[in-house]
């Protein structure tokens, strides 16, 4: 496991603030990684394996970031990421998960963004507890095919209805459409009024459907973090870059120096300006940070002493507006534990974050009682706060209306000896664990090339993106 302090690390030792950023010719290249989420730990692993001196500074008292497996129920449940989106050999994370023998439960073979779970696995109910016909669900898909120019998804739907009044949905059909918007808002962690029509389906969806990590995501990141020098409870407040290196200051005033730094903190934290860059980041980088959106999705995890709900993967509650719709993931199907996970997104998630955990759990339970009036009360609950947690300040990034999709790439492009990683720097797989993982590898490789080119030691080290041996993933579906 990660060690909290490593006194033998010569070059990255705590230094006085005024110390020059000099590099001794006898030591190997050094790098400071900021943020021990998936991207940061991956970059640290890769550079450590390429013989760099690596120190990882993490503000929380745990690693993982938005991967957060909790064991307080006596079994693993994920408060952050829980799916491998794209159960296939092309997924950069698949070889590692396969090698660890971790089981996946495929909730869907369907790869679309809107329907991130296949239709057979749903049971949709209206607010009076009546089950909704599957036929209506399929018909609402027609509306999606009308979208063309850039605007918000919400606006696009209104236009479609103006042009094609025959597609206008009434009653239960309207509610089902709202439910799909609610699902889409969950995927983007944002409200339909703010999701860009032009960009909403730009990300590359890997084939193979969506596999739930039955034993949680933590074992994967723990494996990557093994043996690394990770300093927990080290919140970075300032990053100074000079030609000959970087100096990073943490909250208590301690400083660290190295040849380069990989910044793998969430976009929400970068937006909050709580880290001072000296000199300032270039304008194009600051613009990318400002323009890319960060949304909120949370989990309210309810543990019951018995299972009283239907044997489906999702329970949906349809309503007049997407704000009032909701859905529960049935973890019993995947893991055998009597757990439902309520997942609010966008404005609803923001509003719920203002409540106490007790009130939030009650709110979720009230939604459940609407469709299952005889539901028994939960015995335990867990509530996430990704929007207000100052270590994340949001759940994941998304394209806002009118902004180019290449903002992700601009966020990734290095500035001198500062390299950027994290889900929001992934052009192809933003908002995902495998996206964060691949940007960690990319940042490590960019950093290795720059530092080694500079010091002329290129032939000494292995490339960080070595070939992985493929091991099949263990997948089940009940």
Ligand X SMILES: Cc1cc2nc3c(=O)[nH]c(=O)nc-3n(C[C@H](O)[C@H](O)[C@H](O)COP(=O)(O)OP(=O)(O)OC[C@H]3O[C@@H](n4cnc5c(N)ncnc54)[C@H](O)[C@@H]3O)c2cc1C
The binding site for substrate comprises: 342
Taking the least distance from each CB to ligand X, the nearer of 216 and 266 is 266
335 binds ligand X (CB under 6 A): no
Count the residues of the shown chain that bind ligand X, applying the rule CB under 6 A. Answer: 41
Taking the least distance from each CB to ligand X, the nearer of 12 and 157 is 12
From the centroid of its chain, how far is CA 56?
20
Neighbours of 444 (CB within 10 A): 30
40 binds ligand X (CB under 6 A): yes
Instruction: Extract the annotated binding site for FAD.
Output: 236
Give me the least distance between CB of 102 and ligand X, in Å please.
14
Indicate which single residue of 297, 353, 445, 446 sits in contact with ligand X (rule: CB under 6 A): 297
Residues 208-237 that bind ligand X (CB under 6 A): 235-236
Taking the least distance from each CB to ligand X, the nearer of 175 and 412 is 412
Give me the least distance between CB of 176 and ligand X, in Å please.
24
304 binds ligand X (CB under 6 A): no
Taking the least distance from each CB to ligand X, the nearer of 177 and 275 is 275
Q: Could you tell me the two tokens for 288?
A: 């990318």
438 binds ligand X (CB under 6 A): no
Measure Cα distances from 70 to 73, 231, 331 in Å. 8, 21, 14
Q: How far apart are CA 79 and CA 301, in angstroms?
A: 8
281 binds ligand X (CB under 6 A): no
Indicate which single residue of 37, 92, 209, 378 sits in contact with ligand X (rule: CB under 6 A): 37
Give me the least distance between CB of 216 and ligand X, in Å please.
11
Q: How far apart are CA 326 and CA 343, in angstroms?
A: 7
What does the CA dihedral 407, 411, 413, 419 come to, rounded to 10 degrees?
-170
Instruction: Extract the annotated binding site.
Output: 236, 342
Give me the least distance between CB of 394 and ligand X, in Å please.
8
Taking the least distance from each CB to ligand X, the nearer of 140 and 438 is 438
Indicate which single residue of 53, 59, 107, 330 sits in contact with ligand X (rule: CB under 6 A): 59
Site string for ligand X, 62-101 (x = CB under 6 A): ---xxx------------xxxx-x----------------
Residues 374-403 that bind ligand X (CB under 6 A): 384, 386, 391-392, 395-396
**Helical ranges in 281-345 per DSSP H:** 283-291, 331-335
Q: What per-residue string of b and e applies to 293-303 under the rule 16 or more CB within 10 Å gives b?
A: bbbbbbbbbbb
Residues 6+ apart with CB under 8 A from 198: 149, 150, 399, 405
Site string for ligand X, 243-272 (x = CB under 6 A): ---------------------xxx--x---
Residues 6+ apart with CB under 8 A from 123: 131, 310, 312, 314, 315, 316
Task: Decide: helix, strand or coil at residue 171.
Answer: helix
Taking the least distance from each CB to ligand X, the nearer of 126 and 229 is 229
431 binds ligand X (CB under 6 A): yes
Contact 440, 96 (CB under 8 A): no
**Helical ranges in 118-190 per DSSP H:** 134-139, 141-144, 153-163, 171-188
35 binds ligand X (CB under 6 A): yes
Q: Could you give the angle at which helices 38-49 and 218-225 cross, rounded to 10 degrees?
A: 30
- DSSP letter for each residue of 199-227: TTT-SPPPSS-EEEETT-SHHHHHHHHTT
Give me the least distance between CB of 87 and ligand X, in Å please.
12
Give me the least distance between CB of 393 and ligand X, in Å please.
8
Taking the least distance from each CB to ligand X, the nearer of 175 and 333 is 333
Give me the least distance between CB of 253 and ligand X, in Å please.
14
Taking the least distance from each CB to ligand X, the nearer of 212 and 371 is 212
Taking the least distance from each CB to ligand X, the nearer of 316 and 422 is 422
What does the CA dihedral 145, 149, 153, 155 come to, rounded to 10 degrees?
-110
Contact 56, 228 (CB under 8 A): yes
Contact 421, 439 (CB under 8 A): yes
C-beta nearest to ligand X: residue: 37
Residues making up the chain, counted from first to last? 478
Residues that bind ligand X (CB under 6 A): 34-40, 57-60, 65-67, 80-83, 85, 235-236, 264-266, 269, 275, 297-299, 384, 386, 391-392, 395-396, 422-423, 431-433, 436
């Amino acid at each position: 496991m990660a060690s909290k302090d490593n006194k033998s690390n010569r070059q990255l030792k705590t230094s006085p603030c005024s110390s020059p950023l000099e590099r001794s010719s006898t030591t190997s290249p050094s790098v400071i990684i900021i943020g021990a989420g998936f991207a940061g730990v991956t970059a640290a692993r890769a550079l450590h394996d390429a013989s760099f001196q690596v120190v990882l500074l993490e503000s929380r008292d745990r690693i993982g970031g938005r991967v957060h497996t909790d064991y307080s129920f006596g079994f693993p449940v994920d408060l952050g990421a829980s799916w491998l989106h794209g159960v296939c050999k092309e997924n950069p994370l698949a070889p590692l998960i396969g090698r660890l023998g971790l089981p996946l439960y495929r909730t869907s073979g369907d790869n679309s963004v809107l329907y991130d779970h296949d239709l057979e696995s749903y049971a949709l109910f209206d607010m009076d507890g009546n089950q909704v016909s599957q036929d209506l669900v399929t018909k609402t898909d027609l509306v999606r095919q009308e979208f063309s120019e850039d605007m918000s998804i919400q606006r696009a739907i209104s236009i479609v209805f103006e042009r094609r009044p025959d597609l206008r949905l009434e009653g239960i059909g309207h509610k089902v459409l709202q439910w799909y918007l609610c699902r889409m808002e969950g995927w983007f962690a944002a409200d339909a009024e703010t999701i860009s029509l032009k960009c909403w389906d730009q990300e590359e969806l890997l084939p193979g459907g969506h596999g739930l990590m039955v034993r949680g995501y933590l074992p994967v990141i723990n494996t990557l973090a093994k043996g690394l020098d990770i300093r927990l409870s080290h919140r970075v407040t300032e990053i100074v870059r000079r030609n000959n290196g970087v100096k990073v200051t943490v909250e208590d005033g301690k400083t660290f120096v190295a040849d380069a730094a990989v910044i793998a903190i969430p976009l929400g934290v970068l937006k909050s300006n709580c880290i001072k860059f000296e000199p300032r980041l270039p304008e194009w980088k600051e613009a990318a940070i400002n323009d890319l959106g960060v949304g909120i999705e949370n989990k309210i995890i309810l543990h019951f002493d018995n299972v009283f709900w239907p044997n489906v993967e999702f329970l949906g509650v349809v309503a007049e507006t997407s704000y009032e719709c909701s859905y529960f993931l049935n973890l019993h199907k995947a893991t055998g534990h009597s757990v439902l996970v309520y997942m609010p997104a966008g404005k609803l998630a923001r509003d719920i974050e203002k409540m106490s955990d007790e009130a939030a759990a009650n709110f979720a339970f009230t939604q459940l009682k609407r469709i299952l009036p005889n539901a028994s009360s939960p015995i335990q609950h867990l509530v996430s706060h990704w929007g207000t947690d100052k270590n994340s300040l949001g759940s994941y990034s998304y394209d806002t209306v009118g902004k180019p999709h290449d903002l992700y790439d601009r966020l990734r492009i290095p500035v001198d000896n500062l390299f950027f990683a994290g889900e929001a720097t992934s052009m192809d797989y933003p908002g995902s664990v495998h996206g964060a993982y691949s940007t960690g590898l990319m940042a490590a490789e960019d950093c290795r090339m720059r530092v080694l080119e500079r010091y002329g030691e290129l032939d000494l080290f292995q490339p960080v993106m070595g070939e992985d041996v493929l091991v099949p993933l263990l997948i089940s579906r009940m």
